Amino acid sequence: VEIVKTLREGSSSEGSKVHFDGFVLKANKKEIPIPTQLFINGQFVDAEQRRVLDNINPTNEELLCRVACASRSDVDKAATAAHNAFYGAWRQVSARQRGQLILKLADLMEQHKEELATIESVDSGAVYTLALKTHIGMSIDAWRYFAGWCDKIQGNTIPVNPARPNNVLTFTKKEPLGVVGLITPWNYPLMMLSWKMAACIAAGNTCLIKPAQTCPLTALKFAELTVKAGFPPGVINIVTGKGSEAGQAILEHPLIRKLGFTGSTEIGKTVMRACAESNLKKCSLELGGKSPLVIFADCDFEKAVKYGMSSVFFNKGENCIAAGRLFVEDRIHDEFVRRVVKDLRSMVIGDPLQRSTAHGPQNHRAHFEKLIEFCERGVQDGATLVYGGKPVPNTKGYFFQPTVFTNVEDHMFIAQEESFGPIMLITKFHGSDIESVMRRANRSEYGLASGVFTKDIAKALAFADNIEAGTVFVNVYNKTDVAAPFGGFKQSGFGKDLGQEALNEYLKTKCVTIEY
């Protein structure tokens, strides 16, 4: 990775008319111009007083660039631009044209997918091959999927009681909410943006988004593509900065009517309170998880090992639906642990841009340090550390060893709290005691995802019936799709991303009654 030069005002990226200050990232045999300013009303602009935040490369802990840090008044400018666009130019765009614009944007993302994946990999530490397939691939899928909905958003005619001798016609219309604020985390930066924004824009809203401060670069590159696609100014605005300032200003802004949030349960509560107190914004919250994965001895063992591994180590554990706890039937427990450790020994850890790498650096320092403490706490509380548990020795960057704990008991801190890192926690259970393992799997305030491995269909369906989680995987894990609704129960939040249900998060229903 090399930073070639700093772009000055007036420079433009190849073939586009959009001007920005930024830098050229030389990585992956590419030279990629990347904006580092706010994107408001179709233009890249400095934050007030030219405030910036350092952006650190997690692979080498060096300064990658400085990115604009939005203040309350920058957020106000973005919200005003979105408001004006909603009541102005965006209204002139028909539903079908909206779909076409989104498809054009998706095509541009596809054309630039290697650049976007390279940026994502350098900025967030995601392994390049995964970034290409998931972080960027699923982002493009989300835009295409929601583009298809644009001209299929429709209401109903409803047979109400007639006011005889007259007749009555009652029908509903689905309307956009107006200006939407979006706030997203750092684990899949562009994908979290896309999951929310694609549904929001397809429904006819305008928006401003504050991406996570540790990796905002794909959002800014994406902003450049929205100009190339031809979105009217103000429809999409990007305000990079701090959650405590720009984020909080979004929560409180009186022109914003809906807040789509993905992040921690703790901040989710702040979001909901601020939405209520400001102007009673509608909100949807995708929050933390501690998803249970139950592996019965009658499973396809090879599959259970493969998916058991990816349920924890996918995207270095920075995966909201990661299995936070594995319950493995006693008859296969020891063999399962042996196989996982064997596979971990050959897992290639290193530069996320290398095609052979399977495990990159954690996203940022605070998170990395939290994982060290998490593992120390596990050892103190008496769980058995079988593998890893520490940073990779003698290396720069936030590289944490994939970790396995066994003998994890329900009362332990590590059994209850989310790690959001590459830490597998295994507990044994007796195969005759299905009820008790179900109870233990449900004994959590989270309810995001879950999984079960068994060849017994009745057992699998009983699990799906009784588990308190928004997503259930049977004999597979991490199998999400843009057409399938995604979101949690209990303190994992409410309101779905993806699928038809996500559209409703960004729509309101108007009921019209006519007497004739």
> Which of 264, 278, 310, 442 lies at the binding interface for ligand TAP (CB under 6 A)?
264
Smaller CB separation from ligand TAP, 273 or 338: 273
If you ran DSSP here, which 8-state letter would residue 469 be given?
-
Smaller CB separation from ligand TAP, 247 or 292: 247
Q: Per CB under 6 A, does 68 bind ligand TAP? A: no
Tokens found for residue 366: 């605070």
418 in catalytic set: yes
Q: Per CB under 6 A, does 135 bind ligand TAP? A: no
Burial 148-157 (b: 16+ CB within 10 A, else e): ebbeebeeee
CB of 250 to ligand TAP, least distance (A): 7
Tokens found for residue 409: 């008991």
| Residue count of the chain | 516
Per-residue binding string, ligand TAP, 176-195, x by CB under 6 A, is -------xxxxx--------
Q: Per CB under 6 A, does 288 bind ligand TAP? A: yes
Burial 479-504 (b: 16+ CB within 10 A, else e): ebebeeebbbebbbbbbbbbbbebbb
Q: Per CB under 6 A, does 213 bind ligand TAP? A: yes
Candidate segments 2-10, 63-71, 247-255, 339-347, binder of ligand TAP by CB under 6 A: 247-255
* Cα torsion through 209, 212, 215, 219, rounded to 10: -10
Which one from 65, 69, 299, 320 is the annotated catalytic residue? 320
Q: Per CB under 6 A, does 448 bind ligand TAP? A: yes
Q: Per CB under 6 A, does 270 bind ligand TAP? A: yes
Smaller CB separation from ligand TAP, 123 or 418: 418
210 in catalytic set: yes
> Which of 247, 388, 397, 422 lies at the binding interface for ligand TAP (CB under 6 A)?
247
Query: Of 40, 43, 41, 49, whose CA–CA distance to 12 is shortest?
Result: 43
Q: Binding to ligand TAP (CB under 6 A): which residues in 299-328?
A: 320
CB of 274 to ligand TAP, least distance (A): 7
Q: Per CB under 6 A, does 365 bind ligand TAP? A: no
Tokens found for residue 339: 């196989």
Q: Per CB under 6 A, does 437 bind ligand TAP? A: no
- Strand, helix or coil for residue 254: coil
286 in catalytic set: yes
What is the DSSP code string of 64-109? EEEEE---HHHHHHHHHHHHHHHHTGGGGS-HHHHHHHHHHHHHHH
Q: Per CB under 6 A, does 337 bind ligand TAP? A: no
Q: Per CB under 6 A, does 220 bind ligand TAP? A: no
Which one from 115, 120, 224, 418 is the annotated catalytic residue? 418
Q: Per CB under 6 A, does 263 bind ligand TAP? A: yes
- Strand, helix or coil for residue 120: helix
Rounded-to-integer distance, Cα 175 and Cα 158, Å = 17
Q: Per CB under 6 A, does 398 bind ligand TAP? A: no
Which one from 115, 224, 286, 318 is the annotated catalytic residue? 286
If you ran DSSP here, which 8-state letter would residue 498 be given?
S
- Looking at the DSSP bridge assignments, the partners of residue 426 are 326
Kindly state the number of chain residues that form the binding site for ligand TAP, as judged by CB under 6 A.
Answer: 28
Rounded-to-integer distance, Cα 292 and Cα 444, Å = 9
* Cβ 223 vs Cβ 240: under 8 Å: no
CB of 53 to ligand TAP, least distance (A): 9
Q: Binding to ligand TAP (CB under 6 A): which residues in 410-429?
A: 418, 420
Q: Per CB under 6 A, does 72 bind ligand TAP? A: no
Rounded-to-integer distance, Cα 303 and Cα 452, Å = 12
Cα–Cα–Cα angle for 440, 487, 176, rounded to 5 degrees? 160
Rounded-to-integer distance, Cα 407 and Cα 467, Å = 23
Smaller CB separation from ligand TAP, 228 or 242: 242
Query: Of 60, 48, 66, whose CA–CA distance to 6 is shortest?
Result: 66
Q: Per CB under 6 A, does 238 bind ligand TAP? A: no
9 in catalytic set: no
* Cβ 283 vs Cβ 106: under 8 Å: no
Smaller CB separation from ligand TAP, 245 or 329: 245
Residues in contact with ligand TAP by the rule CB under 6 A: 183-187, 210, 212-213, 242-244, 247-248, 251, 262-264, 267, 270, 286-289, 320, 418, 420, 448, 488
Q: Which residue numbers are catalytic?
A: 210, 286, 320, 418
